[in-house]
Structure 1
Amino acid sequence: MDTAETAGLLSAHFSAWAHLTKEEQDGMLSDTVLTRYAKGACIHNGENDCKGMLLIKKGQLRTYMLSESGKEITLYRLGAGDVCVLSASCVLSAITFEVQIDAEEDSEVLFISPLYLQSLMERNIHVECFVYKTATDRFSDVMWAMQQILFMSMDKRLAVFLWDEIAKTADDTVHLTHEQVARDVGSAREVVSRMLKYFSSEGIVELSRGGIRIINKQKLRKLAE
């Protein structure tokens, strides 16, 4: 990717760009790398992996927590144009929160060097504000995920997830396996499978190898409320 295209992406999605000097902009461009990832690839593995600030040019990433037992809890997703700073935890002195990031689709990601980002934060208040505001916004997503897991019943959590998926994709079929759904709602596959079978018996969904088709949106929405 050429320098002009990189500058265009940074200008569009990194609001502090306009507050950088020409020298600072040139420095950031020279310390920004485009990396391509295949679907399923690990982008950031948490502890001791400080990749820097990332900007998604193309694709979709999943950010999640991993327990000691290997259980995954999806926190939020990132799409084209989104910025993530939790992959640069080494420059966030007030934050010690480790996440994992995987590519859910073939993706192209820009990485801004953590060392250069830190140097900019130390001398440019606009960069520092952008980084911490972005982190705060993502923590809002994290708190929502935690609230669902801690305070919502399993049937409601699953209903909310299915409703959000069909609203997002404009498709009445959720093209995910039971294992993938379980990761997203923070539960075990067996629990999700049992609940989906219950939804099926209630005439809310139709299950197939290709996914989960919503056949009664009114019932699903009532469960999700």
Structure 2
Amino acid sequence: MIQDLKEQYGNIFEEELINEIVQVGTFKEVPEGYKLIEIGEYLRGMPLLISGVIKILREDEDGDELLLYYLEKGDTCSMTMACCMGDAKSEIRAIAETDAKLIMVPIQKMEEWTTKYKSWRNFVFNSYHVRLNELLSTLDNIAFQKMDERLIGYLKEKARVNQDDIINNTHQEIAYDLHSSRVVISRLLKKLEEMGKIKLHRNYIKILDL
């Protein structure tokens, strides 16, 4: 674990802080699809992502989901930090987009390290800044972009974080992530296929020229 941690965070955190993380953190390896955080849970730790991708989702009153952003290696979730520090229930759902490795940092250490280590304080503040910009981008997409533009952006981002031009999601799953309906997504995907942008297969979508 310590070698993975040093490779990912060695240029960010002091060696003393890395050693503390190793001592108190809980290392986890989770498979694709694993639910790390559920809405309404009290959180007792914050994830530091070593490898893989985690998607962060919100849910409306009807139980429909909306994809907020992805966490990639070297990231953490500022919304999780806020819940931990405030001893509040989680307002997000976190699901492994790919197989992932992470370290859960105990809540009681987060505030201590903010005072003790400048690198940790900068990491926390930067994480808030990055996540805020991603949330604003998501809001802009919903408010100002048409669904076909949002779908193209979604497929591009999905291919980027997975480093694969194959999208292994059903039309219904994509509809959930974009807070739309399967009928609308299927129609737009078919349109993209007719334009030569993608190729639809029975169980996956291949990106051609987005």
TM bin (shorter chain): 0.7 to 0.9
* Equivalence map 1:144-163=2 (5 Å): 144-163=137-156
Query: Is 2:195 the counterpart of 1:208?
Result: no
Shift of 1:96: 9.2
> What is the percent sequence identity of the aligned residues?
23
Q: TM-score, normalised by structure 2?
A: 0.81
1:198 to partner: Cα distance? 3.1
On the 8 A contact 2:171/2:186 being kept in 1, the answer is yes
1:22-45 CA distances to partner (integer Å, 9 max, x unpaired)?
4x6554332111022222111011
- Residues 214 and 32 of structure 1, relative CA distance in 2, 3 Å threshold: closer
- The alpha-carbon deviation at position 113 of structure 1 amounts to 0.9
Measure how far apart 1:102 and its partner are. Answer: 0.7
Instruction: Identify unmatched segments of 5+ residues in structure 2.
Output: none
Instruction: Verify the 8 A CA contact 1:66 1:72 in the aligned structure 2.
Output: yes
Q: How does 1:53-202 map to 2 (within 5 A)?
A: 53-92=46-85, 98-166=91-159, 172-202=165-195
Which has the higher Rg, Structure 1 or Structure 2?
Answer: 1
How far residue 209 of structure 1 moved from its aligned partner, in angstroms, is 0.6
Match of 2:25 among 8, 14, 32: 32
Letter in 2 for 1:12: G
Using the size of structure 1 for normalisation, the TM-score is 0.76
* Partner-residue secondary structure (3-state), 2:91: coil
CA RMSD of aligned residues (A): 3.0
Provide the C-alpha distance between the structure 1 equivalents of 2:73 and 2:36, rounded to a whole number of angstroms. Answer: 15
Give unmatched runs, 5+ long, in structure 1: 221-225
SS in 2 for 1:56: strand
CA distance in 1, matches of 2:74, 2:82: 20
Gap change, CA 1:57 and 1:129, over 3 Å in 2: closer
CA shift at 1:204, angstroms?
4.2
CA distance in 1, matches of 2:200, 2:35: 30
For 1:86 and 1:35, the matched residues in 2 are separated by 20
Shift of 1:201: 4.4
CA distance in 2, matches of 1:175, 1:7: 29
Contact 2:38-2:90 at 8 Å conserved across structures: no
